Amino acid sequence: MASDTAFKRIFKQFKSSSGTDAIQKAIDPSTESGSACFKPFQLIPLPDGLAANHLAEVGLHADLGFWKAAELSSKPGLILIRNAFTSLGQYFWVQTCMKSFPTLPHRSNLGGASVLGKVGTELANNAELCARLRWITFGYHHDWDSKVYSNQERSLIPRELVQLSRIIAGRVGYADYEPEATIINYYNGKTTMSGHVDTSERNLDAPLISVSLGQTAIFLIGTSKPSDPPEALVLRSGDIVVMSGPSRVAFHALPRVICNVRYSKRAFQEEQQQQQQDDTFELVEEIDPLIVGYMNAHRINLNIRQVD
């Protein structure tokens, strides 16, 4: 990207803004003015063979009436799905990213799987590693230097991520979606992601699926040209962004994480107890205060894509 573009200028503006100012300047879909920037998007019903427990297993509302979808009017193909996850489902995914995924074959910015594998389920209790951890990849491992995927550099994608991505993709019209590469990004309050476009995948017709967890973020979405100014969106925990159509090859970035949400162990326990009383699928056995504490200071992003 050129040294000075409209995209970079807006990125710098949001990066240096206070959290309050950033939210006020961005499109906030939870407000009346923000929702006016979207047009309705009709989600596709689930196939008959997909039972409610399949959604509950990955933290999603089995009652599809909770799901709300809209397309950003100025950016065709940019679909935002809100309220698809239960609160406990959001906790489940953060816990899974901190306890389960580090024990599986993967790559990370810290090195091979052996680095995180040594601490395994105790990652949340290791402040030094938590502070350094930025990303983990599953499936095809992207070579950040050559910008290509290699068939020889590949691990299994966790079953939960496969199930989650297929449900989401199916609801936006991609019934044959095949998740083949996953990047999990771990953000603290100061972490950013600079502007880029994802074109390493050989199949650019299949959408990118992105799930936000934990703290609030400002997300920039532009066009295929960095000279075009991007729109800024407020993303909150549980929000799903689907980049399809023209937005699939658009420049995007994350200039700001805003730690403005306070989670509590008690609130998660109350939802857990209600779930047990309703005799529904038990998503988590125990609420870990370390995971709740991590959520209070971090954001996690699940990014899933089809390569071929």
Q: Which has more confidence, 54 or 281?
A: 54
| pLDDT reading at 125 higher than 90 | no
Torsions phi, psi of 130, nearest 5?
-60, -40
**Known binding positions:** 196, 198, 252
Q: State the total domains in the chain.
A: 1
- Residue 126's pLDDT is 86
| pLDDT reading at 289 higher than 90 | yes
Residue 181 is assigned to a structural domain of this protein: yes
Q: For residue 254, how many other CB atoms are within 10 A of its CB?
A: 24
| pLDDT reading at 1 higher than 70 | no
- Residue 281's pLDDT is 67
C-alpha to C-alpha distance for 130 and 124, rounded to whole angstroms: 7
Residue 219 is assigned to a structural domain of this protein: yes
**pLDDT by residue (tens digit) across 190-243?**
999 999 999 999 999 999 999 999 999 999 999 999 999 999 999 999 999 999
**pLDDT by residue (tens digit) across 87-102?**
999 999 999 999 899 8
Residue 53 is assigned to a structural domain of this protein: yes
Range of the domain at 275: 6-305
**pLDDT by residue (tens digit) across 131-185?**
889 999 999 998 877 878 878 889 999 999 999 999 999 999 999 999 999 999 9
Average pLDDT over residues 268-278: 85
C-alpha to C-alpha distance for 215 and 210, rounded to whole angstroms: 15
pTM: 0.96
C-alpha to C-alpha distance for 42 and 68, rounded to whole angstroms: 9
**Known binding positions for Fe cation:** 196, 198, 252
- Quickly state the pLDDT bin for 118 (edges 50, 70, 90): confident
For residue 253, the domain's CATH number is 2.60.120.590
- Quickly state the pLDDT bin for 279 (edges 50, 70, 90): low
Residue 1 is assigned to a structural domain of this protein: no
| pLDDT reading at 2 higher than 80 | no
C-alpha to C-alpha distance for 193 and 19, rounded to whole angstroms: 16
170: helix, strand or coil: helix
